[in-house]
Amino acid sequence: MVAGAGPVVAVRSAGLAVSATVLSAAVVVLCVLPFAFANPNAATVQRLPAWYVLVVAVAAAVSVAGAWAARSHSGRASAALALAGVAAILPLWASQEWLPDSLRGATLATRPLAVAAIAATALLWPARGEPRADRLLIVIAGIAVVAAGVHVLAYDPFADPGCAQTCANLSPLLGELVGTRSTMAITTAAIVSIAVIGGVAVAATLRSRSYRLVSGAALAALMALVGLAVVRWLTFENITPSAVRLPLEPLAVAAVGAAVCLLHLRVLRTRAAVDRVVSGLSAESVRRGAVVDVQFAVPGEERWLDPAGAAVVDPPEPDRTVVLTDGAEPTVRLVVARAVDPAEVLAGLSPATRLALHNAQMSTVARARLAEVRASQRRVVAASDGERRRIERDLHDGAQQRLVGVGLQLRIARADADQETRIAIEKVENKVGDALSQLRRLAHGVFPSVLADEGLEQALVELVAASDVPAELTMQVTDPLTTEVAMAAYATVAAAVGSVVQPSVATRCRIAVRQVAESLIVRVETESATIRTPDLTAVGDRVGAVGGEVTWSDPEPGGYVVTAVIPCES
């Protein structure tokens, strides 16, 4: 599993990126100027073949491109690669006769620094360096600086039989004490030591797919530079011009730069694939490319959701995931294809992509929680309807039948009673009839039978006719409505009309039910009425159960507006 943090303070990285840019520009300048100001009649310049000039120019370009590409991954590694390019190019300046001899000799001392910078590039490639790597860098840098210092103070090009850049007699400070050959031995030993120390540490990172390409290129470059240094030492007394005497270090740096460029291209390709996934998070889009699935964490809960909002049942393999966090807890989990390196996916996540994933997580979690609320509302409504039907059944089969029996017995008793008793029985019989009528209305429930038999419009017509509130009904429904939608609309109107407690002559109620596209809009507006705030909890549950929403407003005293937007099947 590869984890990526949320907001990161990037001031230090920005400074390193600027340093890398400056050093990269220096590589270009240092590579071009020696050839631009070279004296074509000088013997030293004639020793630089045309093929070598072309190869070094290409190598410098690749090195600069690599240092530039590395900025987005590791600012420290980018600066190290740029420093390696500068140190590898500087020996070319030894052939410039217009420079002071001491400075020309000093440019040849940068070879150990180039080797150390190549090793540092691989060690610093992980964005978050380890303390062990930092300690190794100090050791490597110390060896390189000491070797370069000894070379500056003790190397005399005039005493080197195979010198290729300058043969000036420098008379160095430590020339008689150390000698040129011993200086070459010290430099070679330093290069071998740096390569061994750095190579062992770099080889340990080859197990990680994230660092294998850059580490492998750096390891190959270190081995090549060690071989080159040893051959130079072994051919110290050879006066015949040889290619190994040329500054070949730029080629080694270019190999590492090429690896960085290749990795950067892979990261860009992965970023494009991730951006395509993020731009259209769907089950089809996430099954293609580098990312095969995107999952979102539910805050405060140990569960994950897919882009559709469904719960993830089978967790992915940890080594195939990239987990993004907000600093406290995970937010997004990217499942990558088997052939894709999770670290490349993490490196390919731009700030805009991270923000898009964060927004997608919040949207998916909100949709999932809304679906859970609606499912809960459906359960509440289903339980309420079931209980209502049970009560209706009990009233019809129990109390209602008993009242019918009582009425029948009263009629029988009235037939044999005297006049006074008959009058009393008739009063009781009327009261039983009233109770039976009320019980029948109660048994029919909140929703009259006409709603199921003849539809919403006829049910609302009867509701308006039976109400004491003067109401105007407007119906604009073209398609048949499902039972659930009709019941939700009827419940909304009944609750709104029932909130008027003292209708007057001036009271007006306008009921509008119209179908717009795939939604049914129910609007009840009252004016000049004494009202109580309607309890829309049950109505909200019923409307929400079918995916709708109820709103209430009172724009003026004595008036209110209840609006329900209910999705309906067309």
Per-domain boundaries in the chain:
16-267, 280-370, 399-444, 449-567
Res 245 pLDDT > 50 = yes
Task: Write the DSSP symbol of residue 447.
Answer: S
Give yes or no for a contact between 78 and 67, defined as CB atoms under 8 angstroms apart.
Answer: yes
- 495-544 tens-digit pLDDT: 888 888 777 777 888 999 999 888 999 999 888 777 677 677 788 888 88
Task: Provide the pLDDT for residue 22.
Answer: 59
Asked if residues 165 and 155 have their Cβ atoms less than 8 Å apart, the reply is no
Mean pLDDT of 45-56: 67
Angle at CA 43, nearest 5°, toward 39 and 47? 100
Confidence of residue 168 (pLDDT cuts 50, 70, 90): low
CA–CA distance, 454 with 443 (Å, rounded to integer):
19
CA distances for 420 relative to 416, 424, 431, 432, angstroms: 12, 7, 17, 19
E strand or H helix at 561: strand 560-567
Instruction: Please give the Cα distance from 511 to 526 (Å, whole number).
Output: 9
Residue 447 buriedness (CB in 10 A; 0-12 / 13-18 / 19+): middle
Most confident option among 138-147, 199-208, 360-369: 138-147
**Strand 471-476 to 530-531 pairing:** unpaired
What whole-number distance in Å separates Cα of residue 357 and Cα of residue 338?
22
pLDDT of 366 strictly over 80: yes
Across the chain, how many H-helices and E-strands are there? 19, 12
DSSP conformation class of 531: E
Predicted TM-score (pTM) of this structure: 0.52
Identify whether the C-beta of residue 256 lies closer than 8 Å to the C-beta of residue 81.
yes
pLDDT computed for residue 13 by the predictor: 46
Residue with tokens 């303070």: 9
Check residue 26 and give its pLDDT: 59
Rg (CA), the chain: 44
Q: What is the pLDDT of residue 324?
A: 85
Q: 449-567 in CATH: which number?
A: 3.30.565.10
Residue 545: in which H helix or E strand, if any? helix 537-545
Distance of CA 528 to the CA centre of its chain: 54
Residue 16 confidence class, pLDDT cut points 50, 70, 90: very low
At 133, which helix (H) or strand (E)? helix 131-154
Beta carbons of 350 and 279 less than 8 angstroms apart = no
Q: Residue 70: which of 205, 260, 209 has the closest Cα?
A: 260
Q: Three-class SS string for 222-248?
A: HHHHHHHHHHHHHCCCCCCCCHHHCCC
The mean of the pLDDT values for the chain is: 77
Mean pLDDT, residues 228-253 taken together: 74
Strands of 508-516's sheet in order across: 471-476, 508-516, 519-527, 560-567, 549-553
pLDDT at site 474: 92
Question: What is the separation, in whole angstroms, between the first and last Cα of the chain?
Answer: 47
Contacts with 96 (C-beta within 8 Å, 6 or more apart), sequence order: 34, 37, 38, 104
Asked if the model's pLDDT at residue 164 lies above 80, the reply is: no
Query: What share of the chain has pLDDT > 90, as a percent?
Result: 8
Which amino acid, residue 497?
A: V
Give the H or E element holding residue 293. strand 291-297
